[in-house]
Chains A and B, each alone.
Chain A
Amino acid sequence: MADKILAKDKLAEFIAALQKDKDVFAPKLDNDRLVWAPLEKADDIVWEFSNTEMSPKDFFFPQTECMMHFKNDPKAEDGMIMQAEPELAKERALLNIRPCDAKAFGVLDMIFCQDEMTNDVYWRDKREKTLLIGLACNDPCPTCFCTTVGCGPHNEAGLDVLLVDLGDKLLARPISDKGAKALSALPEAAADDAAKAAELKKAAEDSITQGVGTDKISGAEVLDLFNLPMWDRVHESCLNCGTCTFCCPTCHCFDIQDEVQGEAGRRVRNWDYCMSWLFTVHGTGHNPRHGKKERVRQRFMHKFKYIPLKRGGEIGCVGCGRCVQLCPVNIDVREVVNSMNA
């Protein structure tokens, strides 16, 4: 599919066309914090930003999501029967999502929708009804390490459209059929625009200097990694809070709870995190991951060994660097992975 050009002064038309049948969201500055918010008009778009504070995964996997509801009355005819929640009513478009976050959705697709049996209707419904329009990263942060985990500042995986900021205009590259449809009205790009985009891509990739090595991890035995002496030190300063998992675009664990109030009942799922003692404790009181060390090890082993092992080599991390920035005790995933790889 040929690259298109979207002039910035034509954005208003483009957004209006999207808004005809979609709710459009984009990153927005709110009290010095960059958050995802509904986009009203083209002028509100932020072009210069690193990335949103939290990952946009909650568009597809909300922190609290009602799965079904029921009437809490065993004697009633319709009592205790689970009723499905309504599906997403209107399609959505996420504008200016970063390539790393889009790639993360691809990783999560592999986990939420594996086959007929493992097919998360909540995740899939929202994924199918959302158009992802990415904005390539021309100026990655010092904490970014996407290029070393199979992603990149101009990565296309998971996106429907990739935009590259060329100053007064955007190079719009259709990636999926859905994306091509959204761009159908736009003029084709000239060869030198594509060349400029390629230059920007090269520069952005080159600016990422710190990264992780995973070559030895992929060849190593699980148990050898599991028993590395480094785990005895990595966890020491960890607080076992949920910051790294909650800001992570690929963390996807949840906890299902039934809640009742009089006759009303519902089943909800909430984000859960492997750093918590409660995450693995059994009804007997036994906890297979009883200490900080076991929990910290689990998080890194899951992303860098278990997921690649089960999903054809795909790493469960996209290198967005959020956990590096937000961890209250600065446990840096790059250091941890590099010592796993040593």
Chain B
Amino acid sequence: MKNILEYVGIEPDRLHFSWISSAEAEKFQKTATQVCEAVRALGPAQHMIKDIRKVA
């Protein structure tokens, strides 16, 4: 899925996958921060959004 979205022009850093066990609270905190930073760096999403206000 990541490959195909990247192929059509959605930045790969918008989609993240991870494995975290229920005991790994710290890894969760770390990953959550990383994901947020990665998406923040990309700026707002532009594509694939259905905005009926714009087309209406």
A214 shortest CB reach to chain B, Å: 42
Segment of B21-29, B37-45, B48-56 in the binding face: B48-56
A198 shortest CB reach to chain B, Å: 48
B53 shortest CB reach to chain A, Å: 5
Interface residue ranges of A60-82 to B (CB < 8 Å):
66, 69
Residues of B within 8 A of A66 (CB): 55-56
Give A259's nearest chain B residue, CB to CB.
B52
Cβ of A261 < 8 Å from any Cβ of B? Answer: yes
Assembled-state Cα–Cα distance A131/B55 (Å): 27
Residues of B within 8 A of A264 (CB): 52-53, 56
Interface residue ranges of A262-281 to B (CB < 8 Å):
264-266
Chain B interface residue bracket vs A: under 10
Max chain B CB contacts within 10 Å: which of A66, A69, A260, A261?
A261
Residues of A within 8 A of B50 (CB): 261
Residues of B within 8 A of A265 (CB): 52
Assembled-state Cα–Cα distance A259/B56 (Å): 11
Assembled-state Cα–Cα distance A59/B49 (Å): 27
A256 shortest CB reach to chain B, Å: 15
Give A262's nearest chain B residue, CB to CB.
B53
B54 shortest CB reach to chain A, Å: 10
Assembled-state Cα–Cα distance A66/B51 (Å): 14
Residues of A within 8 A of B53 (CB): 261, 264
Interface residue ranges of A237-274 to B (CB < 8 Å):
259-261, 264-266
Assembled-state Cα–Cα distance A40/B56 (Å): 27
B39 shortest CB reach to chain A, Å: 21
Assembled-state Cα–Cα distance A335/B56 (Å): 43
Give B53's nearest chain A residue, CB to CB.
A264
Assembled-state Cα–Cα distance A261/B54 (Å): 11
A177 shortest CB reach to chain B, Å: 36
Assembled-state Cα–Cα distance A253/B32 (Å): 49
Give B50's nearest chain A residue, CB to CB.
A261
Max chain A CB contacts within 10 Å: which of B51, B52, B53, B55?
B52
Assembled-state Cα–Cα distance A260/B50 (Å): 10
A139 shortest CB reach to chain B, Å: 40
A183 shortest CB reach to chain B, Å: 38
Assembled-state Cα–Cα distance A265/B52 (Å): 8
A273 shortest CB reach to chain B, Å: 22
Q: Mark B6-43, 1 if CB is under 8 A from A, else 0.
A: 00000000000000000000000000000000000000
List residues of chain B with CB under 8 Å of any chain A CB: 50-53, 55-56
15 CB contacts below 8 A, A to B, read A66-B55, A66-B56, A69-B56, A259-B52, A260-B52, A261-B50, A261-B51, A261-B52, A261-B53, A264-B52, A264-B53, A264-B56, A265-B52, A266-B52, A266-B56
Supplied contacts A69-B56, A259-B52, 12 more A-B pairs, CB within 8 Å: A66-B55, A66-B56, A260-B52, A261-B50, A261-B52, A261-B53, A264-B52, A264-B53, A264-B56, A265-B52, A266-B52, A266-B56
What 4 pairs across the A-B complex have the smallest Cβ distances? A264-B53, A266-B56, A261-B52, A259-B52
